[in-house]
Chains A and B, each alone.
Chain A
């Protein structure tokens, strides 16, 4: 289930935030999307998950055009995402947060399913929740209220929630922001393990190069909303274009 983005363009009023970006994120691989501040990474993400309607371009999931679909319909097709701002359900416990990752997907848009959880699904939800809690190593926090956690813990809850949903393509939005070096490292390890165990695809938007370089197998670099480079982490490291984009033209 490859996520393929073709010529994605997003305009706000007269300004173009993303300009003709084309890239793909296949299964079984961690694909990175990087770029300096304001390059349009999060906008690209929001367009992929359906929170923004692109001005032009196509977004395909396993070949199926999902550009016009609402977020929940894309999620039903296996596209899950986390948020840089970690939109957790702050008033619920960690366990409930993670469980809802599965329940929301089971309940879909069916009124009765939303109202009532059949026993078979109850087991399914419990199993998915346990597995996700274990993968993210946050089982000990299950009774805590999400709003009371530290940033590092919240990142993991956000990840566990989307893992419990059983999505095959995960969009991770700046997962390291607010994490210290140790937490970032741990987060990276979990992502690698998830991809190895489940064979799902990950698209990672990130500014922490240490994390990007250690988990991504392939990188796309955005600047001013345009794709300026793509390649393996080694190629990106060696690229003068990328260095210039990050540090200013004279730094090259």
Chain B
């Protein structure tokens, strides 16, 4: 026991900070209905602001602290409040994409400006140690833990007893009713964003000394808050704080247990995602009510008639054939882009055709890449067999990702898949199952077609086949069922369809394509590594695809060009996941989300500023979960019916 004590103390220290960050996250989510994927990025921003003022400008640390946790958060809060207000009535996908866009903007800018290498964060608290219960504890750690704990406690008291706190809880229950009682829900939400941003900033500054200044790490570390928030079922603040402590302690204990094992070294940092994934799976729909849920927008009709589309497709293939003769030394860039056509096609199938947001897509591609290497090099299978089998192996993994899809939807599906992706990345990538301890495996090209030019045409063949496959799925019975499911899964179920099977099937098909794409990516680059397939990559892909959504069914092609070709002509980056490109994608995705949201509102008379909120469990007036669930499920439908009710009346 005693030898575990130091880990316990460390765990409680960091856990306290996670708890604080998580409370800010839950507060803003509950009051605004927008889950802020950029919460961690705000923490990172604050830490970098501190660094900029203290180290780069050479000012004293109190000034740096002032800038980071007093000046910066209100600015961020103002931005977030404006964005979320504009997102009222947006689809769940767009709400997710908008804050992911903000995260990309912040994280991408930090990475591009300060570089990916970790910087040393200036210690500003005394680093002396004191003895506490027989354990030596750094004063800085102690201060961090106490600041976070006091912040959490203070906020809890405020939330429970102060008039503003009471109103924050009221906004969660029923924003319309609050405005009827004479309080503007928007004013209350602004306060919530202010507090949430402060909590994020404080936790960023407190965490940076512990883990160093690394934009990605900081962003992801406050993602630990997701896990903590999950323990509180995204609702209870005290449980959320406790969840933070729990995750801190689990991670620290895991560090102790796995020390020495290279294979399991990823386990401690993955702990929060393990918790997140587990809670989301175990809690299920009943307990998790996505308060911001809305009905999906019906997909737009195709831009072109079937005939014109066929001609355009042929022209595009023609261009594809001609590309090698036009681009010279840039051929590998285009070869890569072809792989991305496949990747984005498989993502499109999920996101656009079936309306499910998956943030584990890079993980699936990585599984394909690694499997291919094992099969082609390890087992010596023929190239084509290895490629197709790589796709096949990705299918059960995709089905595993689909488990949350069965039980959850919308936001929680996105979160669960994000957790799954991080788990894969942190725990499995470095094991022998995937890329091994060295992190890199050889990947051959097919015999006789290994040159850049012939292999380009091999890839072109795969890309065309993949696009045709996705198109065929779209026209098949499954395609019809998926489009119907995006509109109303409820009525599909009452018509006799096993919708869970439908969900798993589409994840399976998508995973197959992603796996094949992974194999081709590895083959094109002669090696299979996990580096290009982080969770950050998954986020970037999603935003790029959404960014190109206007191209409808050609979106995968457009996305591949934007992601893999354009950067090569910009700053010479490898692809769209490095340099300033993510920032551009973030901006673009945010704008698309805002635009789509305002277009949606434009079609209705309902005022943007005063959205029809939850008319609390109307006929039954029950506070129960079941009623809350019903309320969410029917809220939008409810207003829709009233409309139609009136429409007939008006027509007379």
Task: Assess the B496–A75 pair: CB atoms within 8 A.
Answer: yes
How close is B300's CB to chain A, nearest CB, in angstroms?
9
Task: Assess the B648–A111 pair: CB atoms within 8 A.
Answer: no
Task: Assess the A14–B493 pair: CB atoms within 8 A.
Answer: no
Residue of B nearest to A146 (CB): B487
Q: Which residues in chain A, 136-161, are within 8 Å of chain B measured between CB atoms?
A: 145, 147, 150-152, 154, 161
Task: Assess the A114–B501 pair: CB atoms within 8 A.
Answer: yes
Task: Assess the A75–B481 pair: CB atoms within 8 A.
Answer: no
Q: Mark each residue of chain A from 94 to 107: 1 if its CB lies under 8 Å from any CB of chain B, else 0.
A: 00110111011101
Task: Assess the B621–A15 pair: CB atoms within 8 A.
Answer: yes
- With beta carbons under 8 angstroms apart, the residue of A11, A50, A152 that contacts B648 is A152
Residues of A contacting B478 in the complex (Cβ-Cβ under 8 angstroms): 114-116
Q: How far is the CA of A116 from the CA of B499 in the complex (A)?
A: 15
Q: How far is the CA of A85 from the CA of B635 in the complex (A)?
A: 11
Count, A-B residue pairs, CB within 8 A: 174
Does B623 touch A at the CB level, under 8 Å?
Answer: yes
| B interface, over-half SS | helix
Task: Assess the B505–A114 pair: CB atoms within 8 A.
Answer: yes
Task: Assess the B494–A81 pair: CB atoms within 8 A.
Answer: yes
Task: Assess the A14–B477 pair: CB atoms within 8 A.
Answer: no
Does B480 touch A at the CB level, under 8 Å?
Answer: yes
Q: Which residues in chain A, 12-69, are within 8 Å of chain B measured between CB atoms?
A: 12-15, 17, 37-38, 43, 49-52
Residues of A contacting B487 in the complex (Cβ-Cβ under 8 angstroms): 87-92
- With beta carbons under 8 angstroms apart, the residue of B493, B505, B620, B647 that contacts A72 is B493
Task: Assess the A178–B496 pair: CB atoms within 8 A.
Answer: no
Task: Assess the A116–B626 pair: CB atoms within 8 A.
Answer: no
Does A183 touch B at the CB level, under 8 Å?
Answer: yes
If A15-B621, A15-B622, A107-B481 touch, whether A87 touches B486 (CB-CB below 8 Å) is: no
Task: Assess the B640–A180 pair: CB atoms within 8 A.
Answer: no
Chain B: interface residue total (CB-CB under 8 A): 53
Task: Assess the B496–A100 pair: CB atoms within 8 A.
Answer: no
Most A CB within 10 A of own CB, among B298, B477, B490, B501: B477
Task: Assess the A150–B476 pair: CB atoms within 8 A.
Answer: no
Q: How far is the CA of A183 from the CA of B490 in the complex (A)?
A: 26
Task: Assess the B620–A151 pair: CB atoms within 8 A.
Answer: no
Residue of B nearest to A16 (CB): B620
Residues of B contacting A178 in the complex (Cβ-Cβ under 8 angstroms): 641, 644-649
Q: How far is the CA of A152 from the CA of B301 in the complex (A)?
A: 24
Q: Which residues in chain B, 631-652, are within 8 Å of chain A measured between CB atoms?
A: 634, 637-638, 640-641, 644-649, 651-652
If A72-B499, A114-B502 touch, whether A12 touches B617 (CB-CB below 8 Å) is: yes
Residues of B contacting A17 in the complex (Cβ-Cβ under 8 angstroms): 619-620
- With beta carbons under 8 angstroms apart, the residue of B473, B484, B505, B637 that contacts A92 is B484
Does A193 touch B at the CB level, under 8 Å?
Answer: no
Task: Assess the B498–A100 pair: CB atoms within 8 A.
Answer: no
Q: How far is the CA of A194 from the CA of B564 in the complex (A)?
A: 58
Q: How far is the CA of A114 from the CA of B502 in the complex (A)?
A: 7
Does B118 touch A at the CB level, under 8 Å?
Answer: no
If A86-B644, A101-B495, A180-B648 touch, whether A111 touches B490 (CB-CB below 8 Å) is: no
Task: Assess the B477–A114 pair: CB atoms within 8 A.
Answer: yes
Task: Assess the B492–A111 pair: CB atoms within 8 A.
Answer: no
Task: Assess the B496–A76 pair: CB atoms within 8 A.
Answer: yes
Residues of A contacting B637 in the complex (Cβ-Cβ under 8 angstroms): 85, 87
Residue of A nearest to B619 (CB): A38
Task: Assess the A103–B619 pair: CB atoms within 8 A.
Answer: no
- With beta carbons under 8 angstroms apart, the residue of B496, B617, B625, B645 that contacts A108 is B496
Does A179 touch B at the CB level, under 8 Å?
Answer: yes
Does A244 touch B at the CB level, under 8 Å?
Answer: no
Does B299 touch A at the CB level, under 8 Å?
Answer: yes
Residues of A contacting B480 in the complex (Cβ-Cβ under 8 angstroms): 92, 96, 99-100, 103
If A100-B481, A107-B481, A150-B648 touch, whether A12 touches B492 (CB-CB below 8 Å) is: no
Q: How far is the CA of A242 from the CA of B646 in the complex (A)?
A: 28
- With beta carbons under 8 angstroms apart, the residue of A76, A80, A103, A180 that contacts B481 is A103
Task: Assess the B483–A12 pair: CB atoms within 8 A.
Answer: no
Residues of A contacting B299 in the complex (Cβ-Cβ under 8 angstroms): 91
Q: How far is the CA of A117 from the CA of B46 in the complex (A)?
A: 56
Q: How far is the CA of A178 from the CA of B641 in the complex (A)?
A: 8
Task: Assess the A12–B620 pair: CB atoms within 8 A.
Answer: yes
Task: Assess the B490–A109 pair: CB atoms within 8 A.
Answer: no
If A12-B620, A13-B622, A165-B495 touch, whether A90 touches B644 (CB-CB below 8 Å) is: no
Task: Assess the B488–A104 pair: CB atoms within 8 A.
Answer: no
Does B491 touch A at the CB level, under 8 Å?
Answer: yes
How close is A74's CB to chain B, nearest CB, in angstroms?
8
Q: How far is the CA of A223 from the CA of B497 in the complex (A)?
A: 34
Provide 7 A-B residue pairs closer than 8 Å at the C-beta atoms, listed in order of the A residue.
A12-B622, A13-B624, A72-B497, A91-B483, A108-B496, A115-B476, A178-B648
Task: Please give 8 more A-B residue pairs, beta carbons under 8 A apart, in addition to A104-B492, A178-B649.
Answer: A12-B617, A12-B620, A13-B623, A85-B641, A87-B490, A91-B299, A114-B502, A150-B651
Q: What is B's interface to A at a CB cutoff of 8 Å? A: 298-299, 301, 473, 476-478, 480-481, 483-484, 486-488, 490-502, 504-505, 617, 619-627, 630, 634, 637-638, 640-641, 644-649, 651-652
Per CB-CB distance, the 10 closest pairs between chain A and chain B, nearest first, are A13-B624, A109-B498, A91-B298, A75-B496, A12-B622, A104-B497, A104-B495, A87-B491, A105-B496, A151-B644
